[in-house]
Structure 1
Amino acid sequence: MYRQLTKANPLSLYLYSMKPVLARGIISLLRKTVHFEALTITSSDCIVDTGTAKFYWEPGNAYSMLGYPFRGDFEKTETDITVKIASSARCVVDVGGNFGWFACQWQAVMPAGSQLHVFEPVPAERSRLQKNLALNTRNDVTTIVNDVCLSEAPGEVQLHIPKKLGAAFASMSEQSYGGEFEVVTARSTTLDDYCKNRQLDHIDLLKIDVEGAELLVLRGARTILQAAAKPVILIESQASTIETFGSTVPEVLNFIKSLGYRGFVFQKDRLQELTDRNIETGYNYLFVDEQKAGSLRSFLEKKLTV
């Protein structure tokens, strides 16, 4: 090899010798600007490992993985708590799967024989979701990705995708993001009908992230939400998105509470019990069966302030 290198054109040899320097510089810069457990770079892809699950990352897209690689975390408390719950869950439902941040990490820890049902009606985002789930495939967990939209009634809905922000911000209502929107049509069903057709008599963990359509999903899920074994619910609700549906955050949260749930709000890295005074101080909320809240206390108290 040495003889071959010494016979090379001096300019070629110089450029060759600079490659390790350039590579070291790039790696050093990456370590300073991105934060994750590990990164795999192939000829066509970048794969980020969070320590629990792996994800395809598009470095040139600021919204890829919702910015996780540059921040080092994404909804960490929500992730930690729900991963713990998923580790003993038999049935988990993710409504608004996005690129699979929660679904992939739940799939990684769920017990053998369990089921994960994910809903993502936007084709571009569903493709990312399926690729990420495939990176974390488990033969002993049944994972079903659905292309339908959950709402309060079966039929069709229109999804508005902001061209500036991308498919992760799609909503059944045109949000005030500015710029142009792409509109796609998707089939809709209710969670109750889905559970009936799939013979699901209970859900252990339910996530709802639907960009303002929370009440529509909840109204179509009354039966399963009032089952003897109530699910733990992680739900996102913000005034800025829900107002375009003519609803409010308190309406959403009070609807869930009326079905026999106890609520908590995520604030930074803590959970706080939901009260009238802090009802809109966060955007992610956790609800548990008020009759069984004590059984989760041992874990929640580490993240809880009252």
Structure 2
Amino acid sequence: ADIVFDIGAHIGFYSILFSRIVGEKGKVYSFEPSSEVSSALALTIDRLANTTLLPFGLSDKESDGFLFIPEDASAASLADWTNESLGKVHKISCQIKRLDDLLANNEVPRPDFIKCDVEGAEELVFRGGLEILDCKDAPIILFEVNEEASKGFNLSKTGAMDFLASLEKADFSFFDARTDALSQISEIPPPLPSALAVNILAVPKAKLNRLSN
């Protein structure tokens, strides 16, 4: 029975997919801090018996923060995009928590798989989940690398991958996840001409055998 975290669930496309994959015995936890999006997501999740909505953001520190939502873009971010050329930006308040605190408080179990797409803040999410990620039973992680979005947090595009690579107990290997045929990588490849981001799959040593399955 697999446990999946969909971090940055947005309208729930991947949550629905994960719900079908894990089946009745599995569980999906959908993290989405935007109240404007999560209200619609809640309607979707209500029909999924194995999926739970957690309406807050994740980072390396617990706090009350703001989510910045450009009217001319589909993405929202915890970084202030007010000065970007994305049209009018409005902000809404949101809670921000740490993965490790959720685990310690028994609000979530240990995940088997994490999908993390949080508009440049992936490194911060991972730093807040050290207990979950730095262990031999670490989850497989699919995460996005978006250089421009990372700049909004004063982070480098390699930060998330570098942090995961430093976790000796998990001993992650990395793969380019943009094609069906996964290719192992040691550095982040450039995005395709039609895309702003790159999807990376991080697999702990203990779960490398699952790739063949």
- Corresponding residue number in structure 1 for 2:162: 254
Offset of residue 120 of structure 1: 0.6
Residue 25 of structure 2, aligned match among 108, 113, 118? 113
Match for 1:183: what amino acid?
Answer: K
Offset of residue 269 of structure 1: 4.5
Structure 2 unaligned blocks of 5 or more: 192-196
Cα distance in 1 for residues equivalent to 2:180 and 2:206: 26
Residue 131 of structure 2, aligned match among 223, 246, 268? 223
Residue 188 of structure 1, aligned match among 91, 96, 116? 96
Q: How does 1:164-243 map to 2 (within 5 A)?
A: 164-165=72-73, 168-175=74-81, 176-198=84-106, 200=108, 202-243=110-151
Aligned length: 203
Q: Could you give the per-residue CA deviations for residues 38-76 of structure 1, whole angstroms, max 9, x where no partner exists?
A: xxxxxxxxxxxxxxxxxxxxxxxxxxxxxxxxxxxxxxx
Mapped contact 2:45–2:52 kept (Cα < 8 A): no
Cα distance in 1 for residues equivalent to 2:25 and 2:179: 34
Offset of residue 266 of structure 1: 2.3
Match for 2:147: what amino acid?
Answer: A
Cα distance in 1 for residues equivalent to 2:176 and 2:75: 22
RMSD: 1.9
Match for 2:183: what amino acid?
Answer: Q
Offset of residue 280 of structure 1: 3.5
- Corresponding residue number in structure 2 for 1:128: 40
Q: TM-score, normalised by structure 1?
A: 0.62
% identical aligned pairs: 26
Offset of residue 112 of structure 1: 2.7
Q: Could you give the per-residue CA deviations for residues 157-210 of structure 1, whole angstroms, max 9, x where no partner exists?
A: 111100122xx4110113434211011111111001011212645210111111
Mapped contact 1:201–1:224 kept (Cα < 8 A): no
Distance 1:131 1:267, change over 3 A: same
Residue 145 of structure 1, aligned match among 30, 40, 53? 53
Which structure: greater helix fraction?
A: 1
SS in 2 for 1:249: coil
Q: Could you give the per-residue CA deviations for residues 65-124 of structure 1, whole angstroms, max 9, x where no partner exists?
A: xxxxxxxxxxxxxxxxxxxxxxx51x1111111010110111123233332211111011
